[in-house]
Amino acid sequence: MKLLAGLFDALWEVANRGARPDDNAKQRVRKAVITLTAMIIGFLAIFWGAIYVLLGYPLSGAIPLSYAVITAVSLPYYFLTKQFAAFRLSQLVLVLLLPFLLQWSLGGFSNGSIVMIWAFFTPLVVLLVDGPRSGLRWLLAFLALTVVSGVLDSHLAVNVTPMPRTAQTVFFILNMAVGLISVYGVLNYFVKDSERYQHTLRENQERITALMLTDPLTGVANRRRLDDCLREAARRVGNAGESLSVVIADLDHFKDVNDTYGHDVGDRMLQRFVEVARPCIRSRDLLARFGGEEFVIVLPDTPLEEARVVAERVRSCIERMAEPAIERPLTASFGVACSTTTPVSNLLIAADRALYRSKNEGRNRVSVAA
């Protein structure tokens, strides 16, 4: 099993060499599945071609050997030129025709039905890489050739030596075994790489969503995330009668810090505020940058007095925060508001008014909205 898995891994690695640098994960899987199928059938074509020649069926042996030669030439050309569309079409046509040509050369259904397992490869592979509609078209082509085989069957068996029963049985078992292993290999890598593609896609979507909802400087939620959180919290207030509190914090004399020490130091102060404030709130609370030097803390299911205690805890921690870059202590002013009814659209306005009362009364304090 390890040897077989190692062989498939090596083939899959080679199959991925036809991808362009700008291909996405889905395109790479699509190209690799076609290429892997071509390589598997190419190797098997050499084996079966040699067997048929040794058994006295030179024409039947020449058909898979010709396919192997064409594939051996077209694969390097595809890897060099990256012309996938032409390679894909040529391989699908060859894989579709190969079992029918082989069956006809062996004398029709009675003598050549053992090779028809390979006819399923074309609609299967197209279904995987191109989707149901394209797969249906190739399935109809397969059915049409099957009808043609039925019409020609009586004429094909006239001048062909029947294959011994023992050989037919052995060939049938080998075809089924190798065919199922090959189908498993193709499906295995298609599923694994498709899952990897979907996982990467989800990660990218989550990363993009996080970037859209995160303040790049401080790493906390931005205004958009804050608005979403308040809307969701407002629904809970209306449905369950919870208390929703918000705290607005504003760094005192922040403009003077920027003007005196530079914006780099000002940015560091904003980051330090977040570092100090985060441990003071619960994991389900939201800390967001409201704009400039203002931050908002959303406290779901929190009454007014508890929200005031949280604000006072953050204020105290900020007051004790040491920052060597500036000579004066850094402080912040806070406004707290609470709502137990819906709507809560005026909650931020009330907290902002309480904040300005803190500013007017000397800063570095917590004020509660009426």
Distance of CA 260 to the CA centre of its chain: 47
Distance, in Å, from the CA atom of 368 to the CA atom of 357, rounded to the nearest integer, reads 9
Handedness of CA 47, 50, 54, 55 (dihedral sign): positive
- Check residue 55 and report its DSSP letter: T
Exactly one of 195, 206, 242, 293 is catalytic; which is it? 293
What DSSP string runs through 253-282? THHHHHHHH-HHHHHHHHHHHHHHHGGGS-
What are the structure tokens assigned to 263, written together?
A: 């914006």
Distance, in Å, from the CA atom of 355 to the CA atom of 366, rounded to the nearest integer, reads 8
**CB burial class (10 A; 0-12, 13-18, 19+) of residue 274?**
middle
Residues 349/355/356/358 CA torsion (nearest 10 deg): 150
Judge whether 364 and 332 are in contact, CB under 8 Å: yes
What DSSP string runs through 76-113? HHHHHH--HHHHHHHHHHHHHHHHHHHHHHHTSHHHHG
For the chain, the C-alpha Rg in angstroms (whole number) is 36
Active site residue 293: yes
What are the structure tokens assigned to 75, written together?
A: 């694969």
Distance, in Å, from the CA atom of 299 to the CA atom of 281, rounded to the nearest integer, reads 9
Distance, in Å, from the CA atom of 67 to the CA atom of 214, rounded to the nearest integer, reads 56
**156 — phi, psi (to 5°)?**
-75, -30
Q: Is 224 helix (H, G, I), strand (E, B) or coil?
A: helix
Which residues are the active-site residues?
293
